[in-house]
A = this chain, B = another copy of it.
């Protein structure tokens, strides 16, 4: 136990943190380039001139290490979107910017983003997670990202831009799904944008295009929902 404030690090802990950071930096580099399969503990150890078992003095397992990479990435992502959501723009541009920022930050580090949503919970894990309350969820990074969207929808409704009949939480989930989907489609199927006959279109443009369509989906409808269009 440290006797006084632990804020001032002893040389020992400073050295230790330095090694830890070196491990993380090398892991980050390898992971960004080759993804989870390209990051092996042994190659990582070789990269930083340590023995493989040394890494286990800093991280409990490879999964823990990866978790840290993913988490810090998602926090960067959250930070970017948070900043944009508080920017000084008119509502439409701001809302669109939230989506485009999210997608472009995600696609800038494809392996990180894909890995951040890679785990498929089992039945038991699912049951366990059901326990956590709304407040607990909102405290997690992903919960905070979600809250940004909920607030955005509510603001849009207050401004009369979004349909007041929509439920903010559901709408936020819809926006997230649409953004998430575009990001992953661009990551895993980057052919799509280029197959179109008019190759003047770039990736970034389509992201904005998609964002606008998403916004339009929440807008005040033209008239009572169509019931025509029968075959």
Interface-side segment among A1-9, A20-28, A76-84, A193-201:
A193-201
Report if A184 contacts B (CB, 8 A). Answer: yes
Copies held by the complex: 2
What is the bound-complex CA distance between A215 and B88, given in angstroms? 30
- A180 at interface (Cβ–Cβ under 8 A)? yes
* Least Cβ–Cβ distance between A225 and chain B, in angstroms: 8
Q: Are A90 and B230 in contact (CB under 8 A)?
A: yes
Interface of A is mostly: helix
Closest Cβ of chain B: how far from A88's Cβ, in Å?
Answer: 6
* Contact of A229 with B by CB under 8 A: yes
Which residues of A from 192 to 224 have beta carbons under 8 Å from B?
192-197, 201, 206, 209-210, 213-223
Q: Could you say which residues of chain B place their CB within 8 Å of the CB of A129?
A: 190-191
> How far is the CB of A47 from the nearest CB of chain B, in Å?
20
A92 CA to B228 CA, complexed, in Å? 8
28 A-B interface contacts by CB (under 8 A): A90-B231, A92-B229, A111-B120, A114-B118, A117-B188, A129-B190, A130-B194, A132-B191, A166-B213, A173-B185, A173-B192, A173-B206, A173-B210, A174-B178, A174-B214, A176-B185, A177-B182, A178-B178, A179-B181, A180-B181, A181-B182, A181-B185, A213-B217, A214-B217, A215-B217, A216-B218, A220-B222, A221-B222
